[in-house]
Amino acid sequence: MGGDVGPAVVIPGAALSLGRHPDAEFVLYGDRTAIERELAKLPALAKVSRVVHTDVAVSMHDKPSQALRRGRYKSSMWQAIEAVKKGEADVTVSAGNTGALMAMARFCLRTLPGIDRPAIAATWPTMRGDAVVLDLGASIGGDARHLQALAVMGAAMASVLFDLEKPTVGLLNIGVEEIKGGDEIREAAELLRAMQSPKFDFIGFVEGDGIGRHAADVIVSEGFAGNIALKAAEGTARQLSDYLRAAMSRTWRSKIGYLFARDAFKALKDKMDPNKSNGGVFLGLNGIVVKSHGGTNAEGFAYAVDVGYDMVRYDLLTKINQTLDREAGALVKTPSAQEAVS
């Protein structure tokens, strides 16, 4: 029921993902009438789907606290998350209210040992394949230990997704020099260097333009800066696409040129399409929850479902737990710079 459109996007999106993963099965929570109206158009999806009716749907404008009070136990969002907790589903995918989804997921599933706050992690297209970027807006701010935990979880996700034995990790900062950035990010760099983790290589600070250049396999940021970076990148991609479209239709010569270069422009458009990078994973929970953009289309939602499918197939949760267990001593016991001084 989430997103700007609801079932008219979510249901066709699930059908598109089913075409790529025919072994998937779906439990669809929400208004039965609205869901079955869309399912009637998609018999293949209907065969592998079960509808659970709920009278309550969380609004895109509800505050997280309001959603918890009004929608706990009764809403489609809560029941979808609870299905993961009960083992009735492997992953929850939602295009609904991000704050409400995070609050309910954290309340229902709880966080993993050593993790204070979950994070939203997503794949980011770069000049040299994809990178994992987190946090993209699950929470605002974060101390050095929070950034350290993000690095550990992001590295586990990158190793699973990209089949990397030792992914590189960088901290997003306003410069690569050691003196740049606030106290918390410089302290986080010291903690990550001191860890000397066998599971990832910490390369230091990465500037904003380094994300697209693939300066590291994992880029770590607190949620405020990470969300701004994400929205700025998506807006720039759409802006460039509009520029190209306008330029290619300006004169008859440009139109002829477009015909000759059509395949190249299609490849560029596909590479810059934000829908194809849709689907942020809530890392740090005792269960897998994937957040889709609320304004995405059916194709974009299908990619979010694909992300959830891959997280289950590659057993992400077990890999993160193993990494956290291995690094538990460093996450808890490594003294911060401030503690060392005191």
State the Cα torsion 165-23-21-155 to the nearest 10°: -20
User: Does residue 63 belong to any structural domain of this protein?
Assistant: no
Number of domains in the chain: 1
Token reading at 201: 């290589």
Query: pLDDT value at position 231?
Result: 78
Query: pLDDT value at position 342?
Result: 35
Indicate the pTM of the whole model: 0.83
Return the bridge partners of 317, or none: none
User: Does residue 34 belong to any structural domain of this protein?
Assistant: no
Domain around 154:
125-277+316-342
Phi-psi label, residue 6: left if phi above 0, alpha if psi -120 to 50, beta otherwise: left
User: Does residue 80 belong to any structural domain of this protein?
Assistant: no
User: Does residue 108 belong to any structural domain of this protein?
Assistant: no
Query: pLDDT value at position 199?
Result: 86
Q: Which among 82, 102, 89 is positioned nearest to 282, based on CA atoms?
A: 102
Backbone φ and ψ of 290, nearest 5°: -120, 130
Query: pLDDT value at position 178?
Result: 84
CATH of the domain at 148: 3.40.718.10
Query: pLDDT value at position 338?
Result: 42
User: Tens-digit pLDDT profile for the chain (342 aa)?
Assistant: 988 899 999 999 999 999 999 999 999 999 999 999 999 999 999 999 999 999 999 988 888 888 888 778 889 999 999 999 999 999 999 999 988 999 999 999 999 887 888 899 988 888 888 899 998 888 788 889 999 999 999 998 898 888 888 999 999 999 888 888 889 999 999 999 998 888 899 999 999 889 889 999 999 999 888 888 887 877 777 777 777 777 777 777 677 766 666 665 565 566 556 667 788 999 999 999 999 988 899 999 999 999 999 889 888 888 887 777 776 666 654 444 444 433
User: Does residue 40 belong to any structural domain of this protein?
Assistant: no
User: Does residue 184 belong to any structural domain of this protein?
Assistant: yes
**H or E element at residue 206:** strand 201-206
User: Does residue 91 belong to any structural domain of this protein?
Assistant: no
User: Does residue 192 belong to any structural domain of this protein?
Assistant: yes
Query: pLDDT value at position 227?
Result: 82
* Angle at CA of residue 83, ends 158 and 122, nearest 5°: 20
